[in-house]
Chain A
Amino acid sequence: MGNPGNPVERLMAMPPEKREQVLEKLPPQQQANLRQRLERFDKLPAAERARLNQMWSTFNSLPPEKQAIVTRQMQAFNNLPEARREDLKPVLQRLRRMPEDRRNALLNSPAFKDRFSATELEMLTDISQNYPLPGR
Protein backbone atom coordinates (compact mmCIF):
# COMPACT_ATOMS: atom_id res chain seq x y z
CA MET A 1 0.00 0.00 0.00
CA GLY A 2 2.68 2.51 1.03
CA ASN A 3 4.93 4.22 -1.41
CA PRO A 4 8.48 4.07 0.00
CA GLY A 5 9.46 7.14 -2.02
CA ASN A 6 6.72 9.27 -0.54
CA PRO A 7 8.04 11.19 2.51
CA VAL A 8 4.59 10.91 4.12
CA GLU A 9 4.68 7.13 3.91
CA ARG A 10 8.29 7.06 5.07
CA LEU A 11 7.32 9.08 8.12
CA MET A 12 4.27 6.94 8.85
CA ALA A 13 6.42 3.81 8.65
CA MET A 14 8.71 5.05 11.43
CA PRO A 15 8.27 4.00 15.04
CA PRO A 16 6.20 6.62 16.93
CA GLU A 17 9.14 8.00 18.91
CA LYS A 18 11.20 8.59 15.75
CA ARG A 19 8.21 10.14 14.02
CA GLU A 20 7.97 12.54 16.94
CA GLN A 21 11.62 13.46 16.59
CA VAL A 22 11.01 14.41 12.96
CA LEU A 23 7.91 16.46 13.80
CA GLU A 24 9.67 18.22 16.66
CA LYS A 25 11.96 19.94 14.19
CA LEU A 26 9.02 22.23 13.34
CA PRO A 27 7.65 25.15 15.40
CA PRO A 28 4.80 24.03 17.73
CA GLN A 29 1.91 25.43 15.67
CA GLN A 30 3.22 23.90 12.47
CA GLN A 31 3.72 20.59 14.31
CA ALA A 32 0.08 20.57 15.44
CA ASN A 33 -1.10 21.31 11.95
CA LEU A 34 1.04 18.60 10.40
CA ARG A 35 -0.09 16.07 13.03
CA GLN A 36 -3.70 16.72 12.10
CA ARG A 37 -2.99 16.28 8.42
CA LEU A 38 -1.08 13.07 9.04
CA GLU A 39 -3.90 11.74 11.19
CA ARG A 40 -6.38 12.39 8.39
CA PHE A 41 -4.05 10.69 5.92
CA ASP A 42 -3.61 7.70 8.21
CA LYS A 43 -7.37 7.24 8.53
CA LEU A 44 -7.92 7.00 4.78
CA PRO A 45 -9.09 3.66 3.40
CA ALA A 46 -6.26 1.61 1.91
CA ALA A 47 -7.49 1.99 -1.67
CA GLU A 48 -7.78 5.74 -1.32
CA ARG A 49 -4.32 5.96 0.19
CA ALA A 50 -2.91 3.89 -2.67
CA ARG A 51 -4.65 6.17 -5.19
CA LEU A 52 -3.09 9.26 -3.60
CA ASN A 53 0.31 7.60 -3.52
CA GLN A 54 -0.01 6.73 -7.19
CA MET A 55 -0.93 10.30 -8.12
CA TRP A 56 1.94 11.66 -6.04
CA SER A 57 4.32 9.23 -7.68
CA THR A 58 3.30 10.33 -11.18
CA PHE A 59 3.58 13.98 -10.19
CA ASN A 60 6.90 13.48 -8.43
CA SER A 61 8.39 11.79 -11.48
CA LEU A 62 8.07 15.08 -13.41
CA PRO A 63 11.10 17.37 -13.57
CA PRO A 64 10.86 20.23 -11.04
CA GLU A 65 10.02 22.86 -13.67
CA LYS A 66 7.10 20.77 -14.93
CA GLN A 67 5.95 20.15 -11.37
CA ALA A 68 5.84 23.92 -10.92
CA ILE A 69 3.79 24.41 -14.10
CA VAL A 70 1.36 21.62 -13.23
CA THR A 71 0.96 22.92 -9.68
CA ARG A 72 0.25 26.47 -10.85
CA GLN A 73 -2.27 25.41 -13.48
CA MET A 74 -4.03 22.79 -11.36
CA GLN A 75 -4.44 25.33 -8.57
CA ALA A 76 -5.86 27.77 -11.13
CA PHE A 77 -8.22 25.06 -12.42
CA ASN A 78 -9.30 24.13 -8.89
CA ASN A 79 -10.04 27.80 -8.20
CA LEU A 80 -12.19 28.37 -11.29
CA PRO A 81 -15.87 29.11 -10.70
CA GLU A 82 -17.71 25.81 -10.65
CA ALA A 83 -19.70 26.51 -13.81
CA ARG A 84 -16.57 27.32 -15.78
CA ARG A 85 -14.78 24.28 -14.40
CA GLU A 86 -17.67 22.08 -15.49
CA ASP A 87 -17.35 23.60 -18.93
CA LEU A 88 -13.61 22.91 -19.18
CA LYS A 89 -13.64 19.50 -17.50
CA PRO A 90 -14.73 17.25 -20.40
CA VAL A 91 -12.52 19.15 -22.82
CA LEU A 92 -9.50 18.78 -20.57
CA GLN A 93 -10.11 15.06 -20.09
CA ARG A 94 -10.35 14.48 -23.85
CA LEU A 95 -7.19 16.50 -24.45
CA ARG A 96 -5.31 14.50 -21.80
CA ARG A 97 -6.03 11.30 -23.71
CA MET A 98 -4.87 12.59 -27.09
CA PRO A 99 -1.54 12.17 -28.83
CA GLU A 100 0.52 15.33 -28.71
CA ASP A 101 0.21 16.29 -32.39
CA ARG A 102 -3.56 16.01 -32.40
CA ARG A 103 -3.82 17.87 -29.11
CA ASN A 104 -1.65 20.73 -30.35
CA ALA A 105 -3.67 21.01 -33.54
CA LEU A 106 -6.88 21.32 -31.53
CA LEU A 107 -5.48 23.78 -29.04
CA ASN A 108 -4.41 26.02 -31.93
CA SER A 109 -7.67 25.63 -33.83
CA PRO A 110 -10.06 28.59 -34.30
CA ALA A 111 -12.79 26.61 -32.48
CA PHE A 112 -10.71 26.52 -29.32
CA LYS A 113 -9.43 30.08 -29.67
CA ASP A 114 -12.99 31.36 -30.04
CA ARG A 115 -14.30 29.34 -27.13
CA PHE A 116 -11.59 29.73 -24.48
CA SER A 117 -9.64 32.68 -23.13
CA ALA A 118 -5.86 32.82 -23.50
CA THR A 119 -5.49 31.92 -19.82
CA GLU A 120 -7.80 28.93 -20.18
CA LEU A 121 -6.00 27.76 -23.31
CA GLU A 122 -2.71 27.94 -21.43
CA MET A 123 -4.25 25.96 -18.58
CA LEU A 124 -5.60 23.29 -20.94
CA THR A 125 -2.26 23.12 -22.74
CA ASP A 126 -0.05 22.96 -19.65
CA ILE A 127 -2.10 20.34 -17.82
CA SER A 128 -2.80 18.08 -20.79
CA GLN A 129 0.83 18.20 -21.95
CA ASN A 130 2.50 17.72 -18.60
CA TYR A 131 -0.01 15.59 -16.75
CA PRO A 132 -1.69 13.38 -19.38
CA LEU A 133 -3.89 10.44 -18.50
CA PRO A 134 -2.00 7.12 -18.47
CA GLY A 135 -1.42 5.91 -22.04
CA ARG A 136 -2.86 2.74 -23.56
Chain B
Amino acid sequence: MNCPLDTRENTQLLLDYCTRKLEPDSVAILERHIAICAACRELARGQRAVWHALDAWEAAPVSADFDSRLYRRIEAQVPWWTLVVRPFRPPFRTVTLWRSLPALAMACLLVVAGVVLERPAGAPAPAATDRAQVDSVQPEQVEHALDAMEMLNEFSRHVRTDSPDSKL
Protein backbone atom coordinates (compact mmCIF):
# COMPACT_ATOMS: atom_id res chain seq x y z
CA MET B 1 0.00 0.00 0.00
CA ASN B 2 1.01 3.64 -0.44
CA CYS B 3 2.18 5.40 2.68
CA PRO B 4 -0.95 6.74 4.43
CA LEU B 5 0.82 9.99 5.18
CA ASP B 6 1.00 10.72 1.44
CA THR B 7 -2.74 10.90 0.81
CA ARG B 8 -5.64 12.50 2.62
CA GLU B 9 -7.87 9.39 2.53
CA ASN B 10 -5.22 7.11 3.89
CA THR B 11 -4.27 9.53 6.63
CA GLN B 12 -7.81 9.16 7.87
CA LEU B 13 -7.26 5.39 7.67
CA LEU B 14 -4.31 5.74 9.99
CA LEU B 15 -6.29 7.87 12.44
CA ASP B 16 -9.15 5.36 12.35
CA TYR B 17 -6.65 2.60 13.02
CA CYS B 18 -5.45 4.41 16.15
CA THR B 19 -9.04 4.73 17.39
CA ARG B 20 -9.78 1.09 16.52
CA LYS B 21 -12.47 1.95 14.03
CA LEU B 22 -10.99 -0.07 11.15
CA GLU B 23 -12.16 -3.41 9.82
CA PRO B 24 -9.83 -6.34 10.58
CA ASP B 25 -8.78 -6.63 6.92
CA SER B 26 -7.70 -2.99 6.78
CA VAL B 27 -5.97 -3.35 10.14
CA ALA B 28 -3.89 -6.22 8.82
CA ILE B 29 -2.86 -4.28 5.69
CA LEU B 30 -2.01 -1.19 7.68
CA GLU B 31 -0.03 -3.08 10.29
CA ARG B 32 2.08 -4.63 7.55
CA HIS B 33 2.83 -1.12 6.32
CA ILE B 34 3.49 0.27 9.80
CA ALA B 35 6.04 -2.50 10.37
CA ILE B 36 8.18 -1.09 7.56
CA CYS B 37 7.37 2.66 7.78
CA ALA B 38 8.99 4.62 10.60
CA ALA B 39 6.92 7.78 9.97
CA CYS B 40 3.61 5.94 10.25
CA ARG B 41 4.86 4.00 13.25
CA GLU B 42 5.74 7.27 14.98
CA LEU B 43 2.39 8.86 14.14
CA ALA B 44 0.49 5.81 15.37
CA ARG B 45 2.54 5.75 18.55
CA GLY B 46 1.90 9.42 19.23
CA GLN B 47 -1.79 9.14 18.45
CA ARG B 48 -2.16 6.14 20.74
CA ALA B 49 -0.38 7.99 23.54
CA VAL B 50 -2.87 10.85 23.22
CA TRP B 51 -5.88 8.54 23.23
CA HIS B 52 -4.45 6.59 26.13
CA ALA B 53 -4.17 9.83 28.09
CA LEU B 54 -7.68 10.89 27.09
CA ASP B 55 -9.17 7.50 27.91
CA ALA B 56 -7.80 7.72 31.41
CA TRP B 57 -10.41 10.39 32.09
CA GLU B 58 -14.07 9.63 32.34
CA ALA B 59 -16.74 12.28 32.61
CA ALA B 60 -18.45 12.34 35.99
CA PRO B 61 -21.89 10.72 35.84
CA VAL B 62 -24.90 12.99 35.75
CA SER B 63 -26.32 13.37 39.24
CA ALA B 64 -29.66 11.73 40.09
CA ASP B 65 -31.39 15.06 40.60
CA PHE B 66 -29.91 16.69 37.51
CA ASP B 67 -33.22 16.89 35.66
CA SER B 68 -35.14 18.33 38.60
CA ARG B 69 -32.43 20.95 39.24
CA LEU B 70 -32.38 21.84 35.57
CA TYR B 71 -36.13 22.30 35.45
CA ARG B 72 -36.00 24.41 38.63
CA ARG B 73 -33.42 26.69 36.99
CA ILE B 74 -35.46 26.93 33.82
CA GLU B 75 -38.52 27.72 35.92
CA ALA B 76 -36.60 30.44 37.74
CA GLN B 77 -35.77 32.08 34.41
CA VAL B 78 -39.35 32.23 33.16
CA PRO B 79 -40.14 35.86 32.25
CA TRP B 80 -42.45 37.76 34.57
CA TRP B 81 -45.19 38.11 31.95
CA THR B 82 -45.34 34.32 31.59
CA LEU B 83 -45.87 34.02 35.33
CA VAL B 84 -48.68 36.61 35.11
CA VAL B 85 -50.52 34.99 32.20
CA ARG B 86 -49.81 31.35 33.05
CA PRO B 87 -52.86 30.90 35.35
CA PHE B 88 -55.14 31.95 32.50
CA ARG B 89 -53.73 29.59 29.92
CA PRO B 90 -55.77 26.44 30.62
CA PRO B 91 -59.18 27.37 29.20
CA PHE B 92 -62.39 26.96 31.19
CA ARG B 93 -60.71 26.25 34.51
CA THR B 94 -62.86 28.55 36.56
CA VAL B 95 -61.26 27.74 39.91
CA THR B 96 -57.84 28.81 38.65
CA LEU B 97 -59.45 31.81 37.01
CA TRP B 98 -61.09 32.92 40.28
CA ARG B 99 -57.83 32.55 42.13
CA SER B 100 -56.08 34.52 39.46
CA LEU B 101 -58.45 37.45 39.40
CA PRO B 102 -56.36 39.60 41.75
CA ALA B 103 -53.31 39.01 39.56
CA LEU B 104 -55.33 39.84 36.47
CA ALA B 105 -56.63 43.01 38.09
CA MET B 106 -53.09 43.97 39.04
CA ALA B 107 -51.86 43.32 35.52
CA CYS B 108 -54.64 45.49 34.07
CA LEU B 109 -53.82 48.21 36.55
CA LEU B 110 -50.16 48.11 35.55
CA VAL B 111 -51.06 48.32 31.88
CA VAL B 112 -53.35 51.30 32.48
CA ALA B 113 -50.75 52.97 34.68
CA GLY B 114 -48.12 52.34 32.05
CA VAL B 115 -50.25 53.91 29.34
CA VAL B 116 -51.08 56.93 31.49
CA LEU B 117 -47.51 57.47 32.67
CA GLU B 118 -46.01 56.98 29.23
CA ARG B 119 -48.21 59.63 27.61
CA PRO B 120 -47.59 62.85 29.54
CA ALA B 121 -47.06 66.13 27.76
CA GLY B 122 -43.29 65.76 28.08
CA ALA B 123 -43.15 62.40 26.34
CA PRO B 124 -40.65 62.22 23.49
CA ALA B 125 -42.04 63.06 20.10
CA PRO B 126 -42.54 60.08 17.75
CA ALA B 127 -39.73 61.27 15.50
CA ALA B 128 -37.30 61.26 18.42
CA THR B 129 -38.40 57.76 19.41
CA ASP B 130 -37.90 56.58 15.83
CA ARG B 131 -34.46 58.14 15.77
CA ALA B 132 -33.58 56.41 19.04
CA GLN B 133 -34.74 53.06 17.64
CA VAL B 134 -32.61 53.50 14.52
CA ASP B 135 -29.63 54.63 16.59
CA SER B 136 -29.97 51.70 18.97
CA VAL B 137 -28.44 49.41 16.34
CA GLN B 138 -25.26 50.35 14.55
CA PRO B 139 -24.58 48.59 11.23
CA GLU B 140 -21.02 47.81 12.34
CA GLN B 141 -22.42 45.90 15.34
CA VAL B 142 -24.58 43.88 12.97
CA GLU B 143 -21.59 43.08 10.74
CA HIS B 144 -19.56 42.13 13.78
CA ALA B 145 -22.28 39.81 15.09
CA LEU B 146 -22.63 38.18 11.67
CA ASP B 147 -18.84 37.71 11.49
CA ALA B 148 -18.88 36.05 14.91
CA MET B 149 -21.81 33.78 14.05
CA GLU B 150 -20.16 32.73 10.79
CA MET B 151 -16.91 31.92 12.56
CA LEU B 152 -18.68 30.03 15.37
CA ASN B 153 -20.79 28.15 12.86
CA GLU B 154 -17.78 27.10 10.83
CA PHE B 155 -15.97 26.00 13.98
CA SER B 156 -19.01 24.08 15.17
CA ARG B 157 -19.32 22.39 11.77
CA HIS B 158 -15.68 21.35 11.91
CA VAL B 159 -15.69 19.93 15.41
CA ARG B 160 -19.09 18.24 15.31
CA THR B 161 -19.87 15.55 12.80
CA ASP B 162 -23.60 15.72 13.48
CA SER B 163 -24.13 19.48 13.23
CA PRO B 164 -26.22 20.75 10.31
CA ASP B 165 -24.48 22.47 7.45
CA SER B 166 -25.75 26.01 7.83
CA LYS B 167 -26.37 28.17 4.79
CA LEU B 168 -25.31 31.30 6.73
Contact = CB atoms under 8 A, between A and B. Distances in A.
A27 B27 CA distance: 59
Contacts of A34: 139, 142-143, 146
Contacts of A40: 167-168
Contact of A136 (B19, B54, B66, B145): B66
Given A14-B133, A56-B145, A85-B158, A111 B57 contact: no
Contacts of A29: none
Contacts of A90: 19
Interface residues of A, number: 54
Contacts of B19: 90
A59 B53 contact: no
Interface string A43-83: 11000100110011001100000000001001101100011
A86 B139 contact: no
Interface of B: 8, 11-12, 15, 19, 46-47, 49-50, 52-54, 57, 59-60, 62, 66, 130, 133-134, 136-139, 141-146, 148-149, 151-156, 158-160, 164, 166-168
8 contacts: A7-B141, A14-B134, A44-B166, A48-B166, A52-B149, A77-B158, A106-B54, A111-B50
Interface of A: 6-8, 10-11, 14, 18, 21-23, 25-26, 30-31, 34, 37-38, 40-41, 43-44, 48, 51-52, 55-56, 59-60, 71, 74-75, 77-78, 82-83, 85-87, 89-94, 97-98, 102, 106, 109, 111-112, 114-115, 136
